[in-house]
Structure 1
Amino acid sequence: MLLRKLIEDLRRKDLLSLKALQFLQTGCLVSIFPFLPLHMKELGLTLSDISYVQTIICIGDILTPLVLGLCTNYLTSIRPLLITSIIINSLASVLLSLVDNGEHLFITYLTCRTLLEVSRGCTLNLYESVNLMTVKARHADYGIQKIFGSLGGTIIGPVAGYVAHYYSFKAVFQFYACLQILFVIILSCSDLQFQRKERKDQKKSKMLDCIYDGQGIIMFLVTAFILGLIWSFSETYAFLHLESIGYTRKNLGLTVGSSTMLGIVISLLSTSLLDVTGWRAGLVLALSTYSIRLLGYSLIPPDSFTILMALECLKSFGNPWCMLVTGYFMKNHVDMSHIASFQSLFSLMYFGIGKGLGSLVGASIIDLFSSQLAFQMVSGISIVWACLLMMTKSQTNQKPKKE
């Protein structure tokens, strides 16, 4: 049945551009963002500097969703804003490739990185809204579209690791800019759902209206904050820790590809699985695998590439799985008119507040104790919140709304 659903989806010409964009979007993200902490270290920034950068740029991740949530209420189409943010993001990556360890390094890097992160936040927020509105309007399977995102990560992640290992981070940033240009070309030629469908008698959706309209939205957003904190901590300090005990950039690039390969199967099964278990169980799975991964990082020996690959394969149940669960939740529990507003709130909690605190709290724990103990403590936070989420009884029926 799943194979038949996949074949039917592949035959739909109205979803081809969506698949190509998913491929490039995930490919772009894994091509530079996992390596950014290593780039900062190579430039000469200290662990304290890295934590400051990661925290300061998250101010943009907090403000961006709020501004976009207000702007999208008054835009007829978000296509021009989305395209502009992608172009700025491409330029920011080129500028970041030109930064060297000279005078005023911290300020120069912080300026370029902030421009990169803010434009990336705009792009991700706007594109995910377009993606969800298109999937919902065309009655498509969100998980199947995400398969092509996993393919993008599987192919482009190792390529980026190879470039970083044998060439330089400068070449990686330029490679990222080229992918973004291709992304914007395809986006400009596509016919996706760039505006909300609203009834003539319906008032415009305000930022917080989605909270009163959906099921379990407050609990979902609180969990998104926790997951954002844990994700930020692992993304900022995992590769730094692994490189410090002997793993190379080439090794780390290969692990990025292996983790996204598993994401292909997960994406295919996600809708059917979540229909049975519900979104709460999906978030519990994400928290539990984070706990296992972080504990594993704290105990891993310096010469066990097999264990590293096994732990990194679980990465598919981290941020990629969280995006699948979020997409499923929005498709089934958030009204079409509120999707852009919910996406803004989710980005605020996950990419903004959660991500910012993850880097800051992580640096503080590592300074006070050690990286191994820090990983173990955050692993404990993950499993504790997973248990609380399991024990919390939903006040509303968690079955998807019938469209």
Structure 2
Amino acid sequence: MDEDCSKTSMKSDTDQKLDMEKTEIEKKEGLALLIYDLKQRKLIPIKILSLVVFSGYGVLLPYAAIHMKSLGISVEETGAIYSVNAVLSVLIPICSGMIADKLGNFKMSCLQNLSARSICQLDRKSGAVSRKEKTATLALKLFQSDYNIERMIPVLWMALEDESEFDHKSSDFQCSTYGEKLNLLQTVYSQDNQTENHRTTHYRMCRSQCVVQINRSDLCSDKVREEVINPQLTFWMYLLLRSVFEVFAVGSYTLFDGAALVLVNEVRGDFGFQKMFGFIGFAIFSPISGALMDHFSKNENDTNFRPAFFLFAGLFGIAAVGMLTIDLNFKPPAEKLMKNLISLLKNVELDVLLSVCVASGFLVGCTGNYLFLFLEEIGGTRSLMGLSVTISCLTAIPLLLLSDTIFRKFSVPNVLVFCLFTFVVRLIGYSYITNPNLCLVYESMEAINGALSLTSFMIYATQLGTTSTATSIQGLISATYFGLGAGIGSSVGGVLIGAFGQRVVFRILGVIAFLTGFFYFLFNILYLRLKANDKNNTAEKADSSVNRKVEEIQ
């Protein structure tokens, strides 16, 4: 009897110690939690890699739709490309997550994905546009003049329309609105320094009467460059390269987020804090990429996207090497993975969360992939587009810093409802703006319905799962958000924009966001709160029964 009491006493002391440790950890909130997180050496590689990986996203992905437009790909074809990528975005995260959970230490798989991703992007930096040299054909009306005009329009040689040679090299002629029409088969050299023998001669009238549809800079060289675009070749080559890129992109994103979550849970850190470093990188490098593209572009109609592709490849190459520093040896391989996942999918709370995740991804896919096209239509520059991304990321930083406090105080379902209603305001606002600079106001809201919303999905889904299925759960979230949601949204968005225009589509999406937020609000009140109350009542009954047994023993 004394031995049993002793064992009971030891067990009670152990439980009390565990409860005290748990209470101490739970007390770490706000600044105390951030300081605790910064002291964790295991999370330092995650913070650095978040900065590098999200910087890579920022230099290229926001400009993907503009890049496709520059290659001659229509909005409908853009939607078709996103549709194919949607299928890959559904399959790859689930497969990557299951493989990672089976392997346990999956950092080599993540390294391979990051390396391949940086390499395959270099293959499509220029697009499938071929160029060839072609001589210019200019229409010019001439007549012989009695005035002695010296070298007003010097011509090397000409041929008439009947291909006969015209060896007369005298420059004693001028442009006019009448006379015989000739086709120049060589570049015309225009010279500004002219001598005149008659003060009343107006040479500028000649230039205004020679209407030529060609860049004046091309007339200063011997040959003219002409772009020859094969739309079908461009579309299929881009689709192939983008699909290969998507395989490695989605796989690396799933594995990296899975590694981050596993490490954060291991040391009881803050997942939103790790994401914050990523958004700092996004905010810094996205405007740098836009400014470099503007700087190296010859004109507004010929954007040079090479700086973005080279930056992307370089950053992800660094991330691949940095992945070697992450320690995942503590994560054991999962057992009975499929059985555990199937049991998780029977959870109504998780199923509804995945449905809301699909709806949110749909809204992001319809807006995010085509937003820069809309800004370009109303006169926005690449630098402004990059600045809008910076504003969004800077706004996201304090939200991610306080994400743990926000989730504890308001609960994740309430935060998701608020994110959806914020999306309504942002979408309706975009449908009315005509000044591109106003996008900075609405992009500050993107931090709520983008970064905070996605972080909410990941943390909530992890709470509903187990440690052994953490990466698989993240794969499921990525598949529903980026694959089903954003993929379907991108394809449907392209069709809707082609049919109704972007402003009408913004209003349609605003209605969808409102309905999704309203129904999830009802689910929160009618199901989640009742379930939480029942759980609290059950816990109180269990505690009271334990207390009665302890009193009886005493």
Question: Between Structure 1 and Structure 2, which shows a larger proportion of helix residues?
Answer: 1
1:77 alignment counterpart: 105
**Offset at 1:189?**
2.1
Indicate yes or no: 2:351 matched with 1:222. no
Q: Indicate how the Cα distance of structure 1 residues 145 and 66 shifts in structure 2: closer, same or farther if over 3 A, else same.
A: closer
Percent of aligned pairs with the same amino acid: 25
The correspondence of residues 89-108 of structure 1 with structure 2, limited to 5 A, is: 89-102=117-130, 103=230, 104-108=233-237
Indicate yes or no: 2:261 matched with 1:129. no
**Offset at 1:12?**
2.5
1:3 alignment counterpart: 31
Distance (Å, rounded) in 1 between the aligned partners of 2:485 and 2:128:
30
- Residues 222-258 of structure 1: CA deviation (Å, up to 9, x unaligned): 0110011111111121111111111111101011011
Distance (Å, rounded) in 1 between the aligned partners of 2:322 and 2:59:
19
State the secondary structure of the residue aligned to 2:103. coil
Structure 1, 186-195 or 228-237: larger mean CA deviation: 186-195
Aligned length: 396
2:20 alignment counterpart: none
2:423 alignment counterpart: 290
1:176 alignment counterpart: 312
Indicate yes or no: 2:439 matched with 1:308. yes
1:326 alignment counterpart: 457
Q: Indicate how the Cα distance of structure 1 residues 145 and 209 shifts in structure 2: closer, same or farther if over 3 A, else same.
A: same
Distance (Å, rounded) in 2 between the aligned partners of 1:66 and 1:331:
15
**Offset at 1:363?**
2.0
2:194 alignment counterpart: none
1:397 alignment counterpart: 532
2:4 alignment counterpart: none
1:269 alignment counterpart: 402
Distance (Å, rounded) in 1 between the aligned partners of 2:54 and 2:347:
28
Structure 1, 288-297 or 96-105: larger mean CA deviation: 96-105
Distance (Å, rounded) in 2 between the aligned partners of 1:195 and 1:165:
46
- Whether the aligned pair in 2 keeps the contact of 1:86 and 1:123 (CA below 8 Å) is yes
Match of 1:279 among 409, 412, 420: 412
Indicate yes or no: 2:309 matched with 1:203. no
The correspondence of residues 2-401 of structure 1 with structure 2, limited to 5 A, is: 2-102=30-130, 103=230, 104-167=233-296, 168-192=304-328, 195-196=331-332, 203-206=336-339, 208-209=341-342, 211-212=344-345, 216-303=349-436, 305=437, 307-392=438-523, 393-395=526-528, 396-397=531-532
State the secondary structure of the residue aligned to 1:97. coil
- Residues 76-107 of structure 1: CA deviation (Å, up to 9, x unaligned): 42122111111110011111113232341111
**Offset at 1:289?**
2.1
Unpaired segments ≥5 residues, structure 1 = none
**Offset at 1:205?**
4.9
Q: Indicate how the Cα distance of structure 1 residues 4 and 77 shifts in structure 2: closer, same or farther if over 3 A, else same.
A: closer
- Whether the aligned pair in 1 keeps the contact of 2:93 and 2:479 (CA below 8 Å) is yes
- Whether the aligned pair in 2 keeps the contact of 1:20 and 1:148 (CA below 8 Å) is yes
**Offset at 1:160?**
1.6
Q: Indicate how the Cα distance of structure 1 residues 193 and 252 shifts in structure 2: closer, same or farther if over 3 A, else same.
A: farther
Q: Indicate how the Cα distance of structure 1 residues 209 and 236 shifts in structure 2: closer, same or farther if over 3 A, else same.
A: same
**Offset at 1:70?**
4.0
Unpaired segments ≥5 residues, structure 2 = 1-28, 131-229, 297-303, 537-554
- Residues 318-349 of structure 1: CA deviation (Å, up to 9, x unaligned): 22112211232144332111212212221221
- Whether the aligned pair in 2 keeps the contact of 1:96 and 1:109 (CA below 8 Å) is yes
Q: Indicate how the Cα distance of structure 1 residues 194 and 152 shifts in structure 2: closer, same or farther if over 3 A, else same.
A: farther
State the secondary structure of the residue aligned to 1:397. helix
Distance (Å, rounded) in 1 between the aligned partners of 2:287 and 2:99:
37
Question: Between Structure 1 and Structure 2, which shows a larger proportion of strand residues?
Answer: 2
Aligned partner letter, 2:482:
F
Distance (Å, rounded) in 1 between the aligned partners of 2:267 and 2:346:
22
Structure 1, 327-336 or 268-277: larger mean CA deviation: 327-336
- Residues 137-180 of structure 1: CA deviation (Å, up to 9, x unaligned): 11111122222112111211211221222232111011011000
Aligned partner letter, 1:231:
V
- Whether the aligned pair in 1 keeps the contact of 2:104 and 2:328 (CA below 8 Å) is no
Compute the RMSD of aligned alpha carbons: 2.2
- Whether the aligned pair in 2 keeps the contact of 1:93 and 1:177 (CA below 8 Å) is yes
Larger of the two Rg values belongs to structure: 2
Q: TM-score, normalised by structure 2?
A: 0.68
Aligned partner letter, 1:203:
K
Q: TM-score, normalised by structure 1?
A: 0.92
Q: Indicate how the Cα distance of structure 1 residues 177 and 381 shifts in structure 2: closer, same or farther if over 3 A, else same.
A: same
- Residues 173-210 of structure 1: CA deviation (Å, up to 9, x unaligned): 11011000111111112224684466xxx634547336
- Residues 99-155 of structure 1: CA deviation (Å, up to 9, x unaligned): 232341111111111111111000011111111111111111112222211211121
Q: Indicate how the Cα distance of structure 1 residues 113 and 187 shifts in structure 2: closer, same or farther if over 3 A, else same.
A: same
